[in-house]
């Protein structure tokens, strides 16, 4: 279950409470769900009870108590708990997690893309902006950001054209940074676009990012490290252009992201050598020495931390596109990579242990994480290496 699907589930719970006469409020158009904060519980949390309390004439906790039974019985929800003044904390069942992993494996690196023009709550509405023209100053960071924003918008079903100022980019920007060589000044016409003029939304990449201070060192980093150096910081932050982006160690976020992806590919190859393949399922199943199957809590936070991050990927892509902010995607990939690296040691059997259903499920979860990492890196214009 993705955050968008869970948001709709919460919305249905509100609608049922209103229809049953338990709440007297106008049903909102959408509901926000987020990862639980400090003191939270479960996979997701929503503050909908706090939002509805005043118009309902009830306390937030009372609204949460009214919504809880409608939400607890929903498909894919294994538990609901009220915390704080009235936050609803929601736990998703293993079936929901299994369906999520299966969906990611089915979509591959295109998981989170809007292949049709049916968009979610945070997705750019293609019906109001059939085509967007992004326009950037002739500066390498602005052009790289514009390139990635265009990729993000296209992933969300929006048609995009890009233009630049005062002539084509420098050849080194094209060969090293991957800037669009055809991003020259031009005025689109209805004939070029095959659209009516009023269907065109033109904007400068906003906000215009702070330029990279040292261009020469940036070009020595190579495409992947240079693009990461420009994209990982928020637009208002000055990028740090140093050789640290090339160092293969944990302190380098780019290394962790690419290393996590390469490791997901490696465990897949190793699993094939051991004769088993991925199969979405419950990652907690274990087997004792007598061969009896038992279910225990996995000590590593592999499902608790990684699964919500994978489920959140479509929302992150939509937000990054809506806010023209590639750094949101870059930071999300770092979080996914860190959670994936915790999972990977538990994927393969140890010693003479035979592959169990849990190993197949963990392999499926690892491959799903790899698909998210590969898709995200591709949107940033960065290579996802099979070996590192």
Helix (H) or strand (E) holding 366: helix 357-379
**pLDDT of 273 over the 90 cut:** yes
The 200-204 sheet, strands edge to edge:
159-164, 131-136, 200-204
Cis peptide bond N-terminal to 7, omega within 30 = no
pLDDT at 260: 97
Residue 33 · residue 345 · CB < 8 Å: no
Residue 310 · residue 368 · CB < 8 Å: yes
pLDDT band at 144 (very low <50, low <70, confident <90, very high): very high
pLDDT band at 343 (very low <50, low <70, confident <90, very high): very high
**pLDDT of 242 over the 60 cut:** yes
pLDDT band at 287 (very low <50, low <70, confident <90, very high): very low
300/332: higher pLDDT:
332
Question: Tokens 């996590």 — which residue?
Answer: 260
296/270: higher pLDDT:
270
Highest average pLDDT, of 75-84, 111-120, 201-210, 314-323, comes from 314-323
Average pLDDT over residues 55-59: 93
Average pLDDT over residues 9-36: 89
Which DSSP string do the residues of 278-332 spell out, in sequence order? ---S-TTEEE-TTS-EEE---SS-IIIIIHHHHHTHHHHHHHHHHTT-HHHHHHH
**pLDDT of 338 over the 50 cut:** yes
Rg (CA), the chain: 23
pLDDT at 296: 41
SS3 121: coil
Highest average pLDDT, of 261-265, 297-301, 308-312, 350-354, comes from 261-265
CA gap 256, 343 in Å, rounded: 14
């Amino acid at each position: 279950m993705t955050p968008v699907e869970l948001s709709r589930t919460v919305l249905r719970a509100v609608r049922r409470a209103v229809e049953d006469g338990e709440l007297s409020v106008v049903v909102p158009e959408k509901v926000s769900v987020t990862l639980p904060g400090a003191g939270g519980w479960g996979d997701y949390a929503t503050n909908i009870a706090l939002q509805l309390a005043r118009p309902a004439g009830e306390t937030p906790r009372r609204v949460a108590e009214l919504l809880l039974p409608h939400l607890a019985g929903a498909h894919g929800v294994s538990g609901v708990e009220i915390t704080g003044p009235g936050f609803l904390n929601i736990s998703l069942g293993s079936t929901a997690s299994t369906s999520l992993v299966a969906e990611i494996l089915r979509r591959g690196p295109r998981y989170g893309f809007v292949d049709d023009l049916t968009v979610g709550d945070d997705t750019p509405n293609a019906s109001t902006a059939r085509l967007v023209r992004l326009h950037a100053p002739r500066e390498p960071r602005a052009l790289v950001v514009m390139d990635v924003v265009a990729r993000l918008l296209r992933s969300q079903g929006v048609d995009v054209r890009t233009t630049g100022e005062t002539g084509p980019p420098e050849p080194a920007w094209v060969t090293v940074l991957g800037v669009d060589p055809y991003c020259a000044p031009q005025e689109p016409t209805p004939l070029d676009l095959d659209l009516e003029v009023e269907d065109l939304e033109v904007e400068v990449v906003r906000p215009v990012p702070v330029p990279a201070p040292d261009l020469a060192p940036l070009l020595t980093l190579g495409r992947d490290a240079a693009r990461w150096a420009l994209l990982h910081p928020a637009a208002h932050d000055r990028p740090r252009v140093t050789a640290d982006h090339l160092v293969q160690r944990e302190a380098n976020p780019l290394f962790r992201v690419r290393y996590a992806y390469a490791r997901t590919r490696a465990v897949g190859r190793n699993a094939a050598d051991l004769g088993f393949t991925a199969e979405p399922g419950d990652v907690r199943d274990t087997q004792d020495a007598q061969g009896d199957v038992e279910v225990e809590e996995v000590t590593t936070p592999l499902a608790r931390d990684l699964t919500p991050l994978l489920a959140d990927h479509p929302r992150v892509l939509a937000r990054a596109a809506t806010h023209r902010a590639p750094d949101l995607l870059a930071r999300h990939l770092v979080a996914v990579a860190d959670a994936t690296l915790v999972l990977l040691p538990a994927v393969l059997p140890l010693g003479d242990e035979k592959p169990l259903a849990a190993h197949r499920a963990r392999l499926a979860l690892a491959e799903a994480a790899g698909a998210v990492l590969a898709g995200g890196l591709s949107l940033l214009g960065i290579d996802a290496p099979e070996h590192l």
